[in-house]
Amino acid sequence: MQELVGGNEKEQAGRGGKEGPGGGGPGILVISHGSREPGWVAQVEDAVAEARAKLPADLPVQAAYLELVEGRLIQDGVRALEARGVTDIYALPLFVSSGSTHVDEIGWALGAYAEPRRETDLEPIAVTARLTYGEPIGSDPEIARVLADKLALRSREPASECVLLVGHGSEEPWFYEAWRRELEGLAAELARIGGYAGADAALLRPNEPAARIASLRARYPDARLLAVPVFLSEGYFTSTAVPNRLAGLDIDYAENALLPHPLVSEWIAGRVRGWLSRRAERLEV
């Protein structure tokens, strides 16, 4: 394994094979969590299809899921790409944060990490191709623009408003810190591009949203407060868990999730273009 220059992706040569001289054909595996809800899966599939349309026509692009989508799991996606002759896979985790325990366990299962940061039931995935494991959304400015568009429907005067981003988070220290760091980066970028007076981030610990709201009110006593969830798709967390944490706190809630905003597909395509460029540079050496 090694860290690639120009990106934070983790690269490994594949458990069962070697890349030939000059490399092999590239392919893309976009990995999401999965759901039993057909509409949830359809939104991910649509975003991947839109990203595919922005990329070279002959580039194989496959969507795969951690769980719950029969016949479309990560191992199925790897096999489908390798069956098409792909020998160089870019696996992109379509998740909000590197603080997601799923991002960590998927990376380990694909061979990008020697050990997972926490115990997992996931089995190692058979990969013959050379594999590069990408980074999730994190603090990417592209996604800050998605949030800005969502909030524009609720905002009145940004200069007199403050925004609270609410994400899932984790109880485990390393994962929690990664969530906080990345959401705070998104919040700062959102405040900058949206012209908001201030911004902060909270995770779904029982008292954390209330504490962050109190902090914003202390710093900006006259500001109107807006809350926006940072979740890939709508569901229990955006419709129930986050509103429950915000109940009675006098904050306007913009419920919609990141999908189906078109900039999500542009984020996917942008990450893929960056990897293709770095791969081309590597093969020229």
Distance CA 192, CA 245 (A): 26
The confidence score (pLDDT) of residue 272 equals 98
Kind of pairing between the strands at 61-65 and 161-167: unpaired
Structure tokens at 54: 């922005």
Instruction: Give the per-residue pLDDT at 23.
Output: 47
Beta bridge partners of 252: 226
Q: What whole-number distance in Å separates Cα of residue 230 and Cα of residue 96?
A: 7
Cα(248)–Cα(210) distance, integer angstroms: 10
- Predicted confidence at residue 24, as pLDDT, reads 64
Q: What is the pLDDT along the chain (285 residues), one digit of tens a residue?
A: 233 323 467 666 444 444 444 446 999 999 999 888 888 899 999 999 999 999 999 999 999 999 988 899 999 999 999 999 999 999 999 999 999 999 999 999 999 988 999 999 999 999 999 999 999 999 999 999 999 999 999 999 999 999 999 999 999 999 999 999 999 999 999 999 999 999 999 999 999 999 999 999 999 999 999 999 999 998 899 999 999 999 999 999 998 899 999 999 999 999 999 999 999 988 886
Integer CA distances (angstroms), 140 to 9, 35, 130, 145, 245, in order: 15, 25, 26, 9, 26
pLDDT at 194: 96
Q: Is 245 left (phi over 0), alpha (psi -120 to 50) or beta?
A: alpha
Pairing of strands 198-203, 252-253: unpaired
- Alpha carbon distance 232, 100 (integer Å): 13
The dihedrals phi and psi of 65, each to the nearest 5 degrees, come to: -135, 145
Give CA separation, 95 vs 16, 20, 115, 171, 250, in Å.
27, 31, 20, 18, 29
pLDDT in the model for residue 38: 85
Domains and CATH numbers, the chain: 2-137+262-284 (3.40.50.1400), 141-253 (3.40.50.1400)
**Amino acid at position 142, single letter:** E
